Amino acid sequence: MNPRKTYDLPLPGGRVLRLGERTLVMGIVNVTPDSFADGGLRLDPAAAEAAAVEMEAQGVDLIDIGGESTRPGASGVSPDEELARIVPVFRRLSGRLRVPLSIDTCKAVVAQAAIDAGASIVNDISGLRYDPALGEVVARSGAGLVLMHMRGRPREMYQEARYRSVAREVAGELGASLQAALAAGVSRDRVILDPGLGFAKRAEHSYDVLAGLSDLAVLDRPLLVGASRKSFLTVATGDLAPAERDWATGAAVTAAVLLGAHIVRVHAVPEMIQVVRVADRIRMAMIAARG
> Looking at the annotation, which residues are catalytic?
230, 265
**How far, in Å, CA of 287 to CA of 264, rounded?**
20
**How far, in Å, CA of 186 to CA of 133, rounded?**
12
DSSP 245-278: -HHHHHHHHHHHHHTT-SEEEESSHHHHHHHHHH
**How far, in Å, CA of 260 to CA of 283, rounded?**
9
CB 8 within 8 A of CB 18: yes
**How far, in Å, CA of 14 to CA of 2, rounded?**
31
Q: Is the dihedral of CA 286, 227, 53, 138 positive or negative?
A: positive
**How far, in Å, CA of 26 to CA of 272, rounded?**
10
**How far, in Å, CA of 48 to CA of 42, rounded?**
5
The number of beta carbons lying within 10 Å of the beta carbon of residue 44 is: 13
